[in-house]
Structure 1
Amino acid sequence: MAEHTTNYTSTFIEVAEDCPADHAQEPPAGETPTIAELHYRMIADHPFQHTSDDVIFATWALRRGIDPSDAAARTAFFAKGQACLRASPLGKRYGWGVLSDADGRVTLVPRESEEYALLAADPALGHTRAMRAKRS
């Protein structure tokens, strides 16, 4: 059984073209953590420590009461393709770019920052955008 991955390497995921936030915003905390909140906490609190696969699986597992360290559940989860961080609300709604390093570990970059502008113009990186919230 082939394992799929959501990881990018040396790639910058820019915010979606229709992202309503002109400045990066922390997703609001709720009684039940949202996908955006879980993605934000995991990446912002631990920059360059997790891969996209780590973040996507842990979010899925936590929302279902599954231990994120359950290797069998992770293998089953990635046995089929999964949405990557391009589909995360962080880049679609909240104004965060996602930078993946050469090892696929991720960090957040606020869209209004100088770092974001430099990364968006860096020809040494792969470039893609977060998915649009609405079809054009």
Structure 2
Amino acid sequence: MKDMNYYGTFIEVAEDCPVRVAELPKAKGDAKTIPLLEYEMIANHPYQYTQEDVLFGVFAQRNKIMEAQRQAAREKFFSKGQPCLRASSLCKRYGWGIHHDAQGKVALYAVESDEYKKFMNDASIKHLKAMRSSRA
């Protein structure tokens, strides 16, 4: 299985992100949305999970995959291509940058924060833009 994680990388908010101050994703009724699940997983556990952990963790939670079936389900999940966190609404719509440390573990940074600005000016890490919501 190919490694989908980024290392030493900062995902900047999308050029067409509609907010200048990061927002918290909201639930739809009683259901937690994918951006809300991603946000809770990363924000509550900074630098604990890799991109793959987050993508599969959200999938497993939404599909109510039992712990005993998770390893096989994870292998099946990653056997076909999956969009990376550059496609996440956190970066495209809600104003969150995502830093991947040297071990591939992720943390969120609000676009208006000093930490976000530090990452933007850090030439020692790779910079990627989140995917745009609309075609240019």
1:116 deviation in Å?
Answer: 0.7
Report the residue type matching 2:27 in the other structure: A
Find the counterpart in structure 2 of residue 43 from structure 1.
Answer: 42
CA–CA distance in structure 2, aligned partners of residues 51 and 6 of structure 1: 9
Q: Following the alignment from structure 2 to structure 1, what is the Cα–Cα distance between the partners of residues 66 and 123?
A: 39
Match of 2:8 in 1: 10
Q: CA RMSD in A?
A: 1.2
Q: Following TM superposition, by how much is the alpha carbon of 1:29 offset from its aligned partner in structure 2, in angstroms?
A: 2.7
Go from structure 1 to structure 2 and tell me whether the alpha carbon gap of 1:89 and 1:68 turns closer, same or farther (over 3 Å shift): farther
Q: In the alignment, which residue of structure 1 is the partner of 2:100?
A: 100
Distance 1:106 1:68, change over 3 A: farther
User: Stretches of 4+ moved more than 2 A in 1?
Assistant: none
**Residues 104-123 of structure 1 correspond to what in structure 2 (within 5 A)?**
104-123=104-123
The separation in 2 between residues aligned to 1:97 and 1:127, in whole angstroms, is 11
Is 2:134 aligned against 1:134?
yes
**Count of residue pairs the alignment pairs up:** 134
Deviation at 1:130, TM superposition (A): 0.8
Gapped runs of 5+ residues in structure 2? none
* Mean CA deviation greater in 118-127 or 21-30: 21-30
Instruction: List alignment gaps of at least 5 residues for structure 1.
Output: none
Q: For the residues of structure 2 that align with 1:111 and 1:66, how far apart are their CA atoms?
A: 33
TM-score, with normalisation over the residues of structure 1?
0.94
CA shift for structure 1 position 68: 5.8
Q: Which moved more, 1:67-76 or 1:30-39?
A: 67-76
How far residue 83 of structure 1 moved from its aligned partner, in angstroms, is: 0.5
**How far, CA to CA, are the matches of 1:68 and 1:39 in structure 2?**
19
Corresponding position of 2:71: 71
Report the alpha carbon displacement of residue 6 of structure 1 after superposing the two structures with TM.
Answer: 2.8
Flag the 1:135–1:95 CA change in 2: closer, same or farther, 3 A.
Answer: same
SS at the partner of 1:99?
strand
Q: What is the CA distance between 1:50 and its match in structure 2? A: 0.3
**Matched-pair identity in %:** 50
TM-fit CA distance, 1:36: 0.3
Separation (CA, whole Å) in 2 of partners of 1:6 and 1:88: 15
What secondary structure, in the 3-state scheme, does the structure 1 residue paired with 2:40 have?
helix
